[in-house]
Structure 1
Amino acid sequence: MIRQFLPVSALLLGSAFLLFAGGINGLILPVRGTIEGFSAISLGLLGTGWAVGYVSGCIMTPPLVARVGHIRAFGAMAAIAAISMLASAIQITPWAWIVLRGVCGFCFAGAAMIVESWLSEQSTPDTRGRIFGVYTMVNLAASTAGSLMLTVGDPSGFLFFALAAIFYCMALVPTALSSSSPAPLVTVKLNLAALWRNSPVAVFAVFWVGVSNAAFGTLAAVYAQNVGLVLAAVSFFISIPILAGAIIQMPVGLMSDRMDRRKVLVGVAALALVADLGFILLAPQGRMMNLTLAALLGGSIYAMYPVIVAHANDHAEPGTAIQISGGLLLTFGIGSIIGPTVAGLAMAEIGIRALFMTTAVSHGVVILYTLWRISKREAVADAEKSSFQPLNAGRTSALQTAEAAQQPPEPAQAAR
């Protein structure tokens, strides 16, 4: 078992450093921005900038790697991300941070794609599922640990900007010292119109999940600070939803393999809506109620994406899994661009709980549209379903993760 992971240990370590830095990066900016008095609109635009950069990185990285190679491209991405963090500490203004956050999102997407394609090549069909499962666990753990780092220092100083920059630079060391290089990145021609014809529920739902997840991921720290939670509780408010989403994915996946996935999606979206309404109607002020609702919301919103991917692949033609996964990621990214901006504007006009009004609308329309589609189209037979794969779309995944998750084992392994 250990021998299977030795060839990819350097890549896993580099990814851990990258996600640790990303965890610090994703939390220090909204926390420090709130301290500096940035408006909710400008803080929401941080998430929009990240999403624009991330989508651009997914599109532009393959030709860049084809020109300069994987190792040099990855080193450049990590170095530029570190520079963006240090520049954010020097130029503390909303508009500079929005641009720099977009630069960081671009670099993060490119670096993730390179690492994931490398992992895919280093693994074999019978070990790929385990390796990418460990990869996802490492990413979630590192990202959570990075978020929790804010409990050990003062966010009003330079410390966390420097710490994130250091770990971005550390991420390039294991890959720079590696003696191997992966094959060229996969390039895919995406067709969103064909994806809609294949599964309108998947396209519609993944867009709105992108809206809600990006809005919550960007502005949750702003909400937590404004309701009076101390910094340690703010870090837990960000971390607990991610952990809850990781824990609930497998039970939700097993359920979706045994019944109509659209009904599972409706059920999970309904749980998310309950959490949204809890934040809006109960207006919790204490730590325990806020953390409980955050866990319920996180467990729900981070479990929806893999159900959507599995449902889309149930209707897919053979050999089109990567196009479907890439199209869903792109649609998710478009929603991620819109969500933080809309939520930020709503919070500025209505108040901090408008964040959950935004997510409630997203989850509500997913429920209504999916129920309507259930009445129009029969469920896929169990024998024709694709296998469920736990995925974490967005900041800790790229197109290569989706591709690897969809690659079936060799016939010898599949027959066992």
Structure 2
Amino acid sequence: MTRNLLPVLALLTGTLFLFLGNGLQGLLLPVRGSLEGYSNEVLGLLGTTWASGFVIGCFVAPNVVRRIGHVRAFSGFLALICLNVLLTGLLVDDVAWLILRAITGFCTAGTSMIIESWLNERATPGSRGTIFSFYISITLFGVVGGQLMVPFADVTAPTLFMICGILYSIAALPTTLSKAASPQPLKRAKLDLKGLFRNSPISFVGILLIGIANGAYGTLGAVFATRSGLDKGSVAAMVSITIFAGAIMQLPAGRLSDSLDRRHVLAALSGVAALAGLAVAIIQPAGVYHIVILVAIYGAAANALYPIAVAHANDFASPEDFVKVSGGLLLLYGIGTIIGPSIGGPVMSWAGPHALFFVTALAHLLVTAYAIVRSRQRAPVPKSERDAYTTAPGSTSSLATPESLSLDPRAQKADIPGE
């Protein structure tokens, strides 16, 4: 294993610091914004603008890299991210934050795509699976590690914004100082909505709804916790436990979906996520332990849905279409994360912070209902012909780019589309 990881150790180290910064900034902004008195609508738009920038970056960043090269593009993207996070700490203004957040999302897509293409170039058939697993684990621990930094400093002071800038600066070093040759040009992202729907209607509709729910909670979960009276340590614990619970649930949920009709597993897990969300919204627990327990159940179920839906879509696709189908679904998920926060913010302002979970519950109930309907309209693929379940990038921590799919061992048989 060590032999497989040594060639990409510098890249993985840079990835860790990149996602430490992403995790810290992603939690710091809604907590600080809540204390500054920003409205729920504005706080929701912080997620909407970031996700919008990220999705646009998946389409545009490859052109930037093609023009100026991987190293200079990577350095430029990270320099902009550092500049933005420092300006966010200096310019405590809602409009400025929204603009800066959109630019950060765009640049994050660019840096992630470059790292992923570099890892893919250095991976061999024997090491691809190991590198893919480590990459997913590093993104997970990076995001959670960044979130857990929030309780250790005053969120109203510039300290955490400066630390975030330092993390991004360190992330630039391993790649910019590397002597490794630049990889092949990045592939342009493609989104064939009609083709995705024809291939698997439940995956198409389900992933859009899952993106709406995850986008709403991912952006406004910390706002809900802050408005509910939790201290910043409890806020960080609540947000992090959601991610960890989802990560732990990946393996048992995946094995279950390999044995049963994946649509039944989607329906069951979506139902559990909906019930957990409704329990928070209706009971409105005041104690931190009750909130954390319910949110952990919610996270375990909700964060296991995306890779199951992707696996189901690939059950009906030919192996050479793996990257095309999975990449399209990933972009569709990104569109859902744009919609979710823009809905959740106004609902929270209208009905209170706990109403966030009415938004997620509605999305999950729709997934449950449609999965049951589709299971009666189309026979499942025989077990022997199914695509093997694999944890998908971005399923528990943050958005991933289509470039990350090239790392997946299943992509070796795929015809990765170029321009």
**TM-score of the two chains, using structure 2 as the length reference:** 0.96
2:133 counterpart of 1:133: yes
Shift of 1:402: 2.3
2:319 and 2:174 mapped to 1: Cα distance? 37
1:392 and 1:282 mapped to 2: Cα distance? 34
Contact 1:322 1:406 in 2 (8 A): no
2:17 partner amino acid: F
Shift of 1:20: 0.3
Alignment-derived partner of residue 5 in structure 2: 5
1:311 partner amino acid: H
- Please give the secondary structure, in 2, of the residue aligned with 1:407: helix
- Please give the secondary structure, in 1, of the residue aligned with 2:66: helix
The unaligned stretches of length 5 or more in structure 2 are 414-419
Alignment-derived partner of residue 35 in structure 2: 35
2:390 counterpart of 1:389: yes
Shift of 1:196: 0.5
Contact 1:84 1:100 in 2 (8 A): yes
1:281 and 1:348 mapped to 2: Cα distance? 16
Q: How does 1:58-69 map to 2 (within 5 A)?
A: 58-69=58-69
2:334 and 2:311 mapped to 1: Cα distance? 18
Contact 1:30 1:221 in 2 (8 A): yes
2:374 counterpart of 1:401: no
Alignment-derived partner of residue 186 in structure 2: 185
Contact 2:58 2:110 in 1 (8 A): yes
Q: How does 1:12-411 map to 2 (within 5 A)?
A: 12-180=12-180, 181-393=182-394, 395-405=398-408, 407=410
Q: Deviations over 1:161-200 (max 9, x none)?
A: 1111111111110001111122221235431101100001
The unaligned stretches of length 5 or more in structure 1 are 411-416
Q: Deviations over 1:295-343 (max 9, x none)?
A: 1111111111100110000001341111111211111111111100100
1:15 and 1:161 mapped to 2: Cα distance? 19
1:383 partner amino acid: S
Alignment-derived partner of residue 414 in structure 1: none
Distance 1:317 1:188, change over 3 A: farther
1:39 and 1:396 mapped to 2: Cα distance? 25
1:276 and 1:160 mapped to 2: Cα distance? 31
2:35 partner amino acid: I
Distance 1:390 1:172, change over 3 A: same
1:240 and 1:107 mapped to 2: Cα distance? 27
Percent of aligned positions that are identical: 41
Shift of 1:408: 5.1
Give the count of matched residue pairs.
410
2:192 and 2:220 mapped to 1: Cα distance? 32
Q: Deviations over 1:190-233 (max 9, x none)?
A: 31101100001001000000100010000011111111111110
1:285 partner amino acid: A
1:327 and 1:305 mapped to 2: Cα distance? 13
2:412 and 2:313 mapped to 1: Cα distance? 20
- Please give the secondary structure, in 2, of the residue aligned with 1:38: coil
Alignment-derived partner of residue 416 in structure 2: none
- Please give the secondary structure, in 1, of the residue aligned with 2:408: helix
1:380 partner amino acid: V
Q: Deviations over 1:109-148 (max 9, x none)?
A: 1111111111111111222111111111111111111000
1:201 and 1:358 mapped to 2: Cα distance? 20
